[in-house]
Each structure stands twice: as C-alpha cells, then as structure tokens.
Amino acid sequence: LREQELKIREDQKKKDALLEEQRKVEAEKEAEEERKREEAERKAREEKARQEHEEYLRMKEAFSVEEEGFDQEQEDDKQNMLQEFINFVKSNKVVVLED
C-alpha cells in the first residue's frame, strides 16, 4: 500500500514536471511568435517611413523657387493696414458734444 502511494506520487510528480515543461515550451513558442510579429511590424513601419521620405524627396525636387520676394508686399500690407485703421477710426469714432 505504501509503495503504491509512493509510486502514485512519483507518477504525479512526473506528470506535473512534464506539464510544466510543456507550458514552458508553449510560453517560449508564444514569446518567439510575439517577437517575430513585433519585428515584422517594426520593419513595416520603417519601410513605410522610408517610402514616405523618398516620396517627399521626389516631390521636393519637382518644385523649384525661382525668386523670392516679399518686401514690396510688406510695404503694401503696411499701407493697407494703416488705411484700414484710419477708415475704422473715421467710421467708429463717436464724439459726444454737450451744450
């Protein structure tokens, strides 16, 4: 009877050890799959970023700036803003005259 109990305990320990080993293998397999998936996602992001950068460079080359000029526009804007202010003051200024 005692020998049977020892045998049952040993068998149970072996089963538990085998199950634990299977769990470890499964966990390692899942971790490896997760790592591969993350690596694939990272590569896809890098590839997309590279393609977007190349497209940006192609578009950048398509545009050319022949001249830059804004000094005249600034002077016009200043004059225009001054005129708008004068018109605003003329139309909205109210002076109350008392007798």
Residue-level pLDDT at 64 = 78
Distance CA 21, CA 6 (A): 22
- Which tokens in the block code for residue 93? 């200024």
Residue-level pLDDT at 72 = 61
Low-confidence ranges of the chain (pLDDT < 70): 68-74, 99
Residue-level pLDDT at 65 = 72
Distance CA 24, CA 54 (A): 45
pLDDT digits (tens, 9 = 90+) for 79-98: 888 899 899 988 887 777 77
Please report where in the chains the tokens 């200043």 appear, as a residue.
78
- Which tokens in the block code for residue 57? 């460079």
3-state SS class at 2: helix
Residue-level pLDDT at 24 = 97
